[in-house]
Chains A and B, each alone.
Chain A
Amino acid sequence: MSESKQTILDVNNLHVSFQTRNGEVQAVRGVNFSLKEGETLAIVGESGCGKSVTAQSIMRLIPTPPGVIKEGSIKLKGKDLTKYTEKQMREIRGTDIGMIFQDPMTSLNPVLTIGDQISEGLFKNSKVSKADAKKRTIELLSLVGIANPEERLRQYPHQFSGGMRQRIMIAMALVSEPGVLIADEPTTALDVTIQAQIIDLFKDIQKRIGIAIILITHDLGLVAQIADRINVMYAGKIIESGTVREIFYEPQHPYTKGLLKSVPRLDGDRNEPLIPIDGTPPDLFAPPKGCGFARRCDYAMDVCLQYDPEPTSVSEHHSVRCWLQDERANKAVKAIDNRSPKINFQSK
C-alpha cells in the first residue's frame, strides 16, 4: 500500500497567535506535519487545542487582526502559502484546497440556489460556459448522492435536510478538483444516523477521487473509519502522531491513552466505566512552562513541569512528545504504578 506518493502539503513549525485586548493567546505553538497525495490525515484533540486554528491557517482564513502567523511555513506543493498575498490566496482557495465546515445549517447562503453556490467556484478563475458549469454541478451532486440533481440545483438550502446540506458543502468544495480537502468537524453537528451516511460518502470519495483529506475532529469513531494517519493535538502542539493502527493499539502519550479510554467501545466490557480526563486545558494566554499536559497527567514528573519534550520516534511513522519515552523515566513509572495500581502503563 505504500507507493511513493508525493508530499502535497508540508507544515513546518507553525505558530499562530491572537492579539487581544487582554494579551496574546498562543493558539498554535509549533506544529509540524506533512500530507501525502491521496492520504487522509486526522487531527484530533479537545476543543481549544488548536486544531481548527491550524486548519484555517492553512487556508489563511484567520482574520488578520487579531490573528497572526508568527512563525513557520505552510508549503503547498513546494510553495510557501504564508508568503502569499491575499490575492494569491484567493486563487488557491477553492481551487487547490477545498474546505468544509462544521454546521451545514448555517454554512450555506439562504438566498442563493445551491446550484449557484456550487458553480460559482468554477467561474472564479477561468472562463467556463454556463452549460459546462451546469454539467459539472450535476456531476458533483450525483457524486455526493443527491437524487434528481437537475431539478434540485435550482432549489434553496432550506429545502434540504442537514445531511443533504453537508453533502452539498462537500460538492461545493470539490467542484474545482482541488488536491486537498480540509474537513473541519464535518459530522459533529449531524445526527448519528446521518453521520454514518457522511462517513460512507467520504469513503466513497476517497476511493473514486483519491483526494488528500485533512480531517479535523474529536470523534475517534470517525477517525477509525476513514483516516490513514492521526495527529493528536493538545494545547497548541502535536503531542503524538502515527498511523491509525499505531495510535489506536499502541498509544504512547498519557493524553492519547486517556482519550481512547474515555470513548465507549463496542467490544469493551459493558461494566467498565468510561474514564474521563480530569481537569481542563491550560489557559493559552500564558502557556505553562514545560509540557502542557503535565498538570493533568497521572504520570507527571518534575522534568515535565520544567521542560517541554521534543518529539521522539517510536517507529517510522509514529512519534510522541513525552518525557516518559526517556529511559530515565522507567523508575518513575514503576513508582507511580505502585502508587495507584488501577491505571496500568503499558510499557513499550
Chain B
Amino acid sequence: MANSVNDSIEEKAIDPKTIPDDLFAPVKKDGAPLEELTRPSVSYWKDAWHRILKNKLAVAGLVIIVVMLVMALIGPSLTPYDDREGILSNQNQAPSADHWFGTDELGRDVFTRVWHGARVSLLIGFAAAFIEFIIGVSYGGLSGYKGGRTDNVMMRIVEVLYGLPYLLVVILLMVVMDPGVWTIIVALSLTGWVGMARLVRGQVLQLKTNEYVLASKVLGGSTPRIVRQHLLPNTMGPIIVSMTLTVPGAIFAEAFLSFLGLGVQQPTASWGSMANDALGVVNTGYWWRLVFPATMISLTMFAFNVFGDGLRDALDPKMRR
C-alpha cells in the first residue's frame, strides 16, 4: 500500500528490500528515558511580569502613571509661579513661552496648577484605594475566616450596601460634610469598601479550603511555606488588580464632585475644579483652560484602566503557560 508519489512530507516510503539486514537487531536498552519534556518552572510573579511586559498597552499605561507621579512631584517647581495667586492683568492668556499651558481667569499659571492638581487627584486616588483596601480586607477577611453565622450576617449587610448607588451616597455625604481633600477621601472610602470586602472574603474562603486540603495531605506541618508561596500570590492577584482599578474611579469621583460644587474648594487646584472653572468659558476660545485638565484626567484614568486590565490578564492563572 505504499502510496507516496509525493515526498513532500518527512519520510519517503522505502522498499524494505533495500534495508540492510543487520538493522534487524534489537535496540540496546540502557534504561535511560529516550525523551524528556521538561520546562523550567517560573515563579508566579516573574511569569506575570513577563506577560505584562508583552502587553504594549499596559506598559504604556504604566509609563504614563510614572510620568504623572514624577511630574506631580517636580512639576510645580519647574515654574516660578504660584498655584493660588495670579496677576489679574495676565488673565486668560494662551499658551506661550512664559506660560506653557496658558493662564486662567485669575491670571494663574495653568501649568503650575495642573501639577498641583495632579498631587490632589493622585493623592485622593491612592488614599481612597488604600483605605478601601484596609477596611475591605478587615471586614471581608474577618467574615471569610469566621465563616458560619457571622459570615452570613456580615455578607447580608454587604449585599444591601452593595445595592446602594455609590455616587449618590457620596454626594449626600459631601453635602453633609465640609468639602475638602480629606473629607472626599473619607466619603469615597466609606462607600467603596464594599466591593473589596466581597472580593477578599471570596479569596479567604478559597484559601481556607486549599489549606485544609494541603494540610491533610502533608501531615505533620512540614510545608506551610508552599501554601504561602503558591496560594497567597494567587489570592493577592485579584486584590491588587481591584486596587489598581479603584484609583481611576476615585479620580473620576473627585472631578464629578467638583462639578457639583462639592469637590475640592478654591483656591486649591484639582483637575476637577479646573475643568469646572472652564465650563463657564467653554464657548470662548480659551481652549487651554479645558483641554489641559481634561487631558490629564482622561490620560490618568486611561493609564490606570489599561494597566489594571493588563495586570488582570497577566495574573490570571488560567493563562499561565
* Minimum CB distance partner of B17 in chain A: A326
State whether the Cβ of A132 lies closer than 8 Å to any Cβ in chain B. Answer: no
State whether the Cβ of B25 lies closer than 8 Å to any Cβ in chain A. Answer: yes
Known: A303-B19, A307-B19, A310-B16. A71 touches B1 (CB 8 A): no
Q: Is the CB of B19 within 8 A of A302?
A: no
Q: Is the CB of A305 within 8 A of B27?
A: yes
Query: Which A residues are CB-close (under 8 A) to B3?
Result: 12-13, 32
Interface residues in B1-41 by Cβ distance below 8 A to A read: 1-4, 6, 8-11, 13-14, 16, 19, 21-27, 33-35, 37
State whether the Cβ of A29 lies closer than 8 Å to any Cβ in chain B. Answer: yes
Query: Which B residues are CB-close (under 8 A) to A15?
Result: 9
Q: Is the CB of B27 within 8 A of A283?
A: no
* Minimum CB distance partner of B1 in chain A: A311
* Minimum CB distance partner of A336 in chain B: B26
> In whole angstroms, what is the CA distance A12 to B21 when docked?
31
Q: Is the CB of A306 within 8 A of B23?
A: yes
Q: How far is the CB of B34 from chain A (nearest CB, A)?
A: 4
Interface residues in A282-322 by Cβ distance below 8 A to B read: 282-283, 287, 289, 294-295, 299-311, 319
Q: Is the CB of B27 within 8 A of A302?
A: yes
Q: Is the CB of A302 within 8 A of B37?
A: no
Q: Is the CB of A13 within 8 A of B4?
A: yes
Query: Which B residues are CB-close (under 8 A) to A283?
Result: 35, 37
Q: Is the CB of B26 within 8 A of A70?
A: no
* Minimum CB distance partner of B4 in chain A: A13
Q: How far is the CB of B126 from chain A (nearest CB, A)?
A: 38
* Minimum CB distance partner of B3 in chain A: A13
State whether the Cβ of A112 lies closer than 8 Å to any Cβ in chain B. Answer: no
> In whole angstroms, what is the CA distance A294 to B28 when docked?
12
- Pick the interface stretch among A78-86, A90-98, A203-211, A327-335: A327-335
Query: Which B residues are CB-close (under 8 A) to A289?
Result: 11
Q: Is the CB of B35 within 8 A of A29?
A: no
State whether the Cβ of A101 lies closer than 8 Å to any Cβ in chain B. Answer: no
> In whole angstroms, what is the CA distance A158 to B34 when docked?
48
> In whole angstroms, what is the CA distance A338 to B27 when docked?
14
> In whole angstroms, what is the CA distance A307 to B21 when docked?
13
Query: Which A residues are CB-close (under 8 A) to B35?
Result: 279-280, 282-283, 295
Known: A301-B25, A303-B19. A70 touches B9 (CB 8 A): yes
Q: Is the CB of B24 within 8 A of A332?
A: yes
> In whole angstroms, what is the CA distance A204 to B37 when docked?
45
What bracket does the count of chain A residues touching chain B fall in? 35 or more
Q: Which of B3, B6, B8 has the most CB of A within 10 A?
A: B3
Q: Is the CB of A329 within 8 A of B24?
A: yes
Q: Is the CB of B24 within 8 A of A328?
A: yes
> In whole angstroms, what is the CA distance A119 to B25 when docked?
60
Return the contact of A308 from the options B11, B24, B37 (Cβ within 8 A): B11
* Minimum CB distance partner of A298 in chain B: B29
Known: A29-B9, A310-B1. A301 touches B23 (CB 8 A): yes
> In whole angstroms, what is the CA distance A326 to B18 when docked?
13
Return the contact of B24 from the options A279, A287, A303 (Cβ within 8 A): A303
Query: Which B residues are CB-close (under 8 A) to A307?
Result: 11, 14, 19
Known: A307-B14, A307-B19, A310-B13. A32 touches B24 (CB 8 A): no
> In whole angstroms, what is the CA distance A319 to B3 when docked?
15
Further 20 A-B residue pairs, CB within 8 A, beyond A32-B1, A302-B22, A306-B23: A29-B9, A30-B4, A280-B35, A283-B37, A289-B11, A295-B34, A295-B35, A300-B26, A302-B26, A302-B27, A305-B27, A307-B14, A310-B2, A328-B21, A328-B24, A331-B24, A331-B25, A332-B25, A335-B25, A339-B26
28 interchain pairs, CB-CB under 8 A = A12-B3, A13-B3, A29-B10, A30-B4, A32-B1, A70-B9, A71-B6, A71-B9, A279-B34, A289-B11, A300-B27, A301-B24, A301-B25, A301-B26, A301-B27, A303-B23, A303-B24, A307-B11, A310-B14, A319-B1, A323-B24, A326-B24, A328-B21, A331-B25, A332-B25, A335-B25, A335-B26, A339-B26
